[in-house]
């Protein structure tokens, strides 16, 4: 999970990204958008793969993105409905933006951070002007960065309690909101309920532990806040479409 929003461009090779029950395998020139502190996992599926990834706080772009482009909704709708590269021409444009970003980051010449910011704006506008938001995003007004900032304390609590359960009441108190106001604000800005977000956070942590830690599945379940291995098994199948053991095998399998 990243503290801010993140945007990635695959420049070479292949990745496999998993957001809850949605998986995405970008090819060079493809883009992915990640929400603020959104649970996800990824792995490189081809040696030598390269990408340009920028993490940023939403207020960074408030002065640049026009309201009708609805920046934050692009990050808070379900991952399968976020902006994507839709044509060969757009792919060429995006690939060029990614290369220029990398040149600035690697060169670190005076003003390179400003240039990366400008390239980021160019990338987002390129994506958003061709994006048709889902109906759920069209029904309400655009989300503002100050609205997202209201629930950041709750996201910070979840992030600081890996494998633990932070009650909605505790999260609401941290945000200085009533319980009902907190639930409404969280669903609006994150695109899902607080309970579902917490579950996905623990599942993402479990997925990471299955690959990177040599632990029995029961131990992974205990470490990530599940009652036992059976509880983790049921939730994992529901969200990832495979068992924890299958996920571990797939992640460990050599790629040709």
Average pLDDT over residues 231-235: 93
Tell how many helices (H) and how many strands (E) occur in the chain. Answer: 11, 6
Residue 67 pLDDT class (50, 70, 90 cuts): low
Six-digit token string for 98: 């990614």
pLDDT at 165 over 60: yes
Residue 63 pLDDT class (50, 70, 90 cuts): low
Provide the CA 39 distance to its chain's centre, in angstroms: 6
Please give the pLDDT value at position 150: 85
d(CA 51, CA 160): 28
Six-digit token string for 100: 């220029």
Domain 197-252 grouped into CATH 1.10.10.60: yes
CB–CB of 90/123 below 8 Å? no
Report the percentage of the chain scoring pLDDT > 70: 88
Query: Which is more confidently placed, 2 or 80?
Result: 80
CB–CB of 229/206 below 8 Å? no
d(CA 229, CA 235): 10
Please give the pLDDT value at position 39: 65
CB–CB of 19/177 below 8 Å? no
Tell me the pTM. Answer: 0.66
- For domain 5-138, which CATH number applies: 3.40.50.1380, 2.60.120.280, 2.60.120.200, 3.30.56.10? 2.60.120.280
Query: Which is more confidently placed, 86 or 36?
Result: 86
Q: Where are the beta strands (DSSP E) in the chain?
A: 5-12, 15-19, 22-24, 31-34, 41-44, 50-56
pLDDT in tens, 194-231: 998 888 888 878 888 888 778 899 999 998 889 899 99
CB–CB of 49/14 below 8 Å? yes
Residue 255 pLDDT class (50, 70, 90 cuts): very low
Please give the pLDDT value at position 190: 77
The domain locations on the chain are: 5-138, 145-193, 197-252
The pLDDT mean for the chain works out to: 84
3-state secondary structure of 38: coil
pLDDT in tens, 7-20: 999 999 998 887 76
């Amino acid at each position: 999970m990243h503290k801010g929003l993140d945007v990635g461009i695959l420049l070479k090779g292949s990745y496999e990204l998993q957001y809850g029950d949605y998986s995405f395998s970008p090819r060079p020139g493809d883009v992915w958008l990640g929400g603020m502190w959104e649970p996800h996992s990824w792995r490189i599926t081809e040696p030598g793969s390269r990408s340009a990834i920028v993490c940023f706080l939403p207020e960074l772009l408030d002065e640049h993105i026009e309201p009708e482009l609805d920046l934050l909704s692009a990050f808070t709708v379900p991952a399968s409905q976020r902006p994507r590269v839709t044509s060969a021409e757009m792919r060429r444009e995006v690939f060029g933006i990614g290369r220029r970003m990398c040149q600035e980051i690697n060169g670190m010449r005076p003003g390179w951070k400003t240039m990366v910011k400008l390239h980021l704006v160019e990338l987002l506008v390129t994506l958003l002007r061709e994006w048709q938001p889902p109906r759920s995003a069209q029904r309400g007004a655009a989300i503002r960065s100050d609205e997202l900032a209201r629930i950041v304390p709750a996201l910070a609590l979840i992030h600081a309690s890996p494998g633990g359960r932070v009650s909605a009441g505790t999260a609401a108190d941290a945000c200085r909101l009533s319980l009902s106001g907190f639930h409404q604000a969280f669903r609006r800005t994150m695109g899902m309920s607080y309970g579902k977000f917490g579950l996905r956070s623990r599942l993402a942590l479990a997925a990471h532990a299955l690959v990177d830690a040599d632990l029995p599945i029961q131990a992974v379940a205990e470490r990530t806040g599940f009652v036992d291995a059976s509880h983790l098994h049921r939730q994992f199948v529901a969200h990832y479409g495979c068992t924890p053991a299958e996920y571990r095998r797939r992640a460990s399998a050599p790629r040709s």
